[in-house]
Each structure stands twice: as C-alpha cells, then as structure tokens.
Structure 1
C-alpha cells in the first residue's frame, strides 16, 4: 500500500502480478487520478458495491499517463482534452473552476468585490498534470486582470494537498466542479467571491479504454453506474450543463 494515498483508496503497485484476479470476468480494474478518486469516486463506491455485489472492483490511482494496456487496467478516468493515442474515450463530465476557501480564511475581513482584488490574497496554486482549468494565470486572464501573478502564492503539485491547504484556511485555491461539490455542500469550502465558475476547453473528464477492447460485463456495469450517478449528482447541484461536452470555450 502506498502510504501517500488516502486509506480509503486501494493502490495497486503491480497489476501484472494479478493474473488470477484479472481472469475473473467479474473483476475490474479502474484507473483514476488522485483528485477524482479522492473527492468524487471513493465517497460513492459503497453505492456501486451495494448495487453490484458480484463485481470485484479495484482502483489504480495515478496522475501520470500510464499505458493502461501494459498495466492491465480495464478502463481509466482521465482529465484532459479527450484524445490519447491508441485509446478510445467517452466524455463523462466537464470541469468548472472557481476560487474557493475555508470560511475562516477571511477572519472577519471584507471579502473581495472582484477578480482583481484576489491579487492581494494568499493564492494556492498547483502545477503539473493535476492543474484543472489552467491555473491562476489563465483564470486571471479570462477575467480581464492583466497582472497574472498574485502578491502571495504557495504552489503544490497535488490536488489533494491543495484542497487540504484550502480546508485549513491557508489561502484561496481554484476548485473545480464536480470535485468540490461535496465540500461546498458540507460548508467546509465556500466561493471566495460571487462570480460565475470558469470553464476551460480541454479540462474535462473522460472514460478511456484501449481502442478495440471488448468490454467485460463488469466494465459495463461500472460504466452504467458511473454515468447514471454523475447525471444524478449534476441534477442535484444544478450542473447539468457540465454533462455536455464543450465545443467552444475560453482558453
């Protein structure tokens, strides 16, 4: 078990050694990113297991673009533009970002009136493959703010660390729906200012499989549940528009 992963996720170190499990038609190995696995998928897995007690589900958590054929992963949930070599992909849901923080961050201070006012705040940034929506520079540019770098900034390379910093009241992060929807609902994160979320083309979630692969019955069951649950969640959070793949949007 990888100690860096949350305990509720199962990290598979070497799928090549899982011949017995993978030969089982009711077994399925699903790849996912740390962010999606932690903040959306893991909290909902009990529902899938209850509906499909015969399916043996395993998660392979990795933010890198691994070769899922060589890693013996049946399918993976990837974040990006939807096109990967030798892979077939199906759109799952779009991602919108908005500045978020813990309610205690303001500590009685007046909240900012507009995007430019955030330049004086502690901005929590992210780099690498975990970036959702292009990061702060793209967000400021999209909102007409010329200075793309704030006065104070802490940068990490892991979305879970980013969210933990925000949850601890350390600063303001760009959080994306659907990942932060549960955190909004519980009140532990709030929008940093009243502004419509920002959607960037190329920042969507897809279900990805090796091209030409014949799906196992267990994979069909998982996909059916995944898309149904995503639709239900989107309806509850007024995010039905994210169920439509964006053709034209800001970059």
Structure 2
C-alpha cells in the first residue's frame, strides 16, 4: 500500500479471497521484470569481463602510434591469449570509473589512488626532417633556432612544455616566434616535422627510433631534461590480473626500466 500511496494509483484488486493486478500493476510488473533482467545481464557481462583476457591500455595517440604499434606484432606472437585494447585520448581518463587497466601519463610519478612505474625520463630536443635540418642556416648557435619555422604543440587539456619553456631552460628569454604551425596532438606534430613543416619538440623516448630510421634528424646536444617523466599507471584498489601484469612488465622490459614502484 505504501507503493500505491507514493505512486497515487491502485496496483492490486483486493477481493475477500483473491488479489489480482490492475492494469497499472501489470504494467509495473512487466517493467520491473524487464529492468531486473537487464540488471542481471549487465552484472553477468561485468563478471565475464573481469574473467576475460582483455587489457585496456590508455595512452596518447603519439605513444600508441610510435611506441606501441611497432612492438605490437611481437607482443601478440608471445601472448596471443591477451586481447590488448588500445585507447587513445587527448585527456587523462579516470582509471577507476572508466575501466582502464593501465595508462601512460606524464608527471612526477604520483597520482591519487594509483601506483606507477617510470618508463622514460622526459628529455626534449629539437627535431626536423633531415632535409629541413640540413637546410637550416647557422644552427651552430642555439639562439638562431628562433629564426626557424617552429611547430607548436597546443594541447587543450593536458599540460605540456612550450617552446618558450625550452628556450628559457637555455637562458634564452626572447619570446618564441608566434608564427609556425600550431597543432593540438603530438602525433600530428611528428607527422608535420617528418613532412618538412619545421622544427618540433622531440620527446626522445618517441623520436630516437624515428631518427635511427632516417625519418627525423635531431640535435641531441640541445637536450632538455625537464625533471618529469612518463609513467605506466594503474589503480591501487583493483588487483592486477595475470594478463594486466604481463602487459605492464612487457612495457617496462621494452623501455629497459626496472619495476620501480611509485605510490
């Protein structure tokens, strides 16, 4: 009767010896039954997901393109049972609420509710296509880079260093040129640099292999170690499955880093 009072409708026909559903009661029963069936299906799906071999890795488009993809075939040969799902994002998704097993993040190694291990120190140097680098005039002095066409990374959400920050590290406080190409994704920045559009930031954990392949040229003598790093991050509260641990250790082994835990 409380439910009827709260809804303002009669759900049951009450006779002396018999109770039956009204039309409203039949409708409510059908909807509630359907809702519980959906809930049961959802719970079963989540339980199956927890028992599955899925591993979701969240990273920037550039990391997925230039670090994961060249190594993915070898990983799948050794671990064909693991369904590695790559998620590219221009933000830092919430690991707990978005069902992400592992994430690659830039920072100092400390995120609330997460553990992390360093995979690469953040070291930045200028990169350009080999032709652009060879054609640049008078690059014997670092300040002359100010006169070159620069490619700027302007991510809308994640904090990233700028050319102004890079020049300031070398005690060059002149404003960076306002011209040049401006892009909001580092994968596009690297593609533009390889296409000869100008000089770009080279995060060396991503650009060193491109230099070795002859796709880019760099100035390692103008490297800036920012004091930050790139980390693999996972939830403190969710125990890692065997498959997630395999993926985590694979990334750490590929980067040559020991399992150094940050909490």
Instruction: Give the shorter-chain TM-score range.
Output: 0.7 to 0.9
Partner of 1:22: 49
Gaps of 5+ in 1: 1-15, 235-239, 246-251
Label 1:25 to 1:139 Cα distance change in 2 as closer, same or farther (>3 A): same
Label 1:83 to 1:63 Cα distance change in 2 as closer, same or farther (>3 A): farther
Alignment partner of 1:226: what SS?
Answer: helix
Alignment partner of 1:73: what SS?
Answer: coil
Decide which of 238, 244, 247 is 1:222's aligned counterpart.
Answer: 247
Kindly state the Cα deviation for residue 108 of structure 1 after the two structures are TM-superposed: 4.1
Decide which of 82, 88, 100 is 1:73's aligned counterpart.
Answer: 100
Structure 1 residues 64-106: Cα deviation after superposition (integer angstroms, max 9, x where no partner): 1111221111111112222222222222221211011002225
Alignment partner of 1:228: what SS?
Answer: helix
2:213 aligned with 1:189? no
Equivalent positions of 1:56-135 (< 5 A) are 56-106=83-133, 108-128=135-155, 129=157, 132=160, 134-135=161-162
Decide which of 236, 243, 251 is 1:211's aligned counterpart.
Answer: 236
Gaps of 5+ in 2: 1-42
Kindly state the Cα deviation for residue 151 of structure 1 after the two structures are TM-superposed: 5.9
Partner of 2:202: 175
Contact 2:133/2:217, CA 8 A, preserved across alignment: no
Partner of 2:35: none
Contact 2:91/2:158, CA 8 A, preserved across alignment: no
Contact 1:32/1:76, CA 8 A, preserved across alignment: yes
Moved more, 86-95 or 145-154: 145-154
Alignment partner of 1:49: what SS?
Answer: helix
Matches of 1:195 and 1:188, distance apart in 2: 19
Label 1:131 to 1:124 Cα distance change in 2 as closer, same or farther (>3 A): farther
Kindly state the Cα deviation for residue 24 of structure 1 after the two structures are TM-superposed: 3.2
Please report the TM-score for the alignment, with normalisation by the length of structure 1.
0.78
Matches of 2:48 and 2:148, distance apart in 1: 50
Matches of 1:67 and 1:209, distance apart in 2: 10
Partner of 2:177: 150
The alignment of Structure 1 onto Structure 2 pairs a total of residues equal to: 218
Alignment partner of 2:80: what SS?
Answer: coil
Label 1:119 to 1:244 Cα distance change in 2 as closer, same or farther (>3 A): farther
Partner of 1:237: none
Contact 2:56/2:87, CA 8 A, preserved across alignment: yes
Kindly state the Cα deviation for residue 150 of structure 1 after the two structures are TM-superposed: 2.2
Please report the TM-score for the alignment, with normalisation by the length of structure 2.
0.75
Matches of 1:161 and 1:210, distance apart in 2: 30
Structure with higher helix content: 2
Structure 1 residues 31-88: Cα deviation after superposition (integer angstroms, max 9, x where no partner): 1111211111111111111111111111111121111221111111112222222222
Matches of 1:39 and 1:220, distance apart in 2: 22
2:226 aligned with 1:200? yes
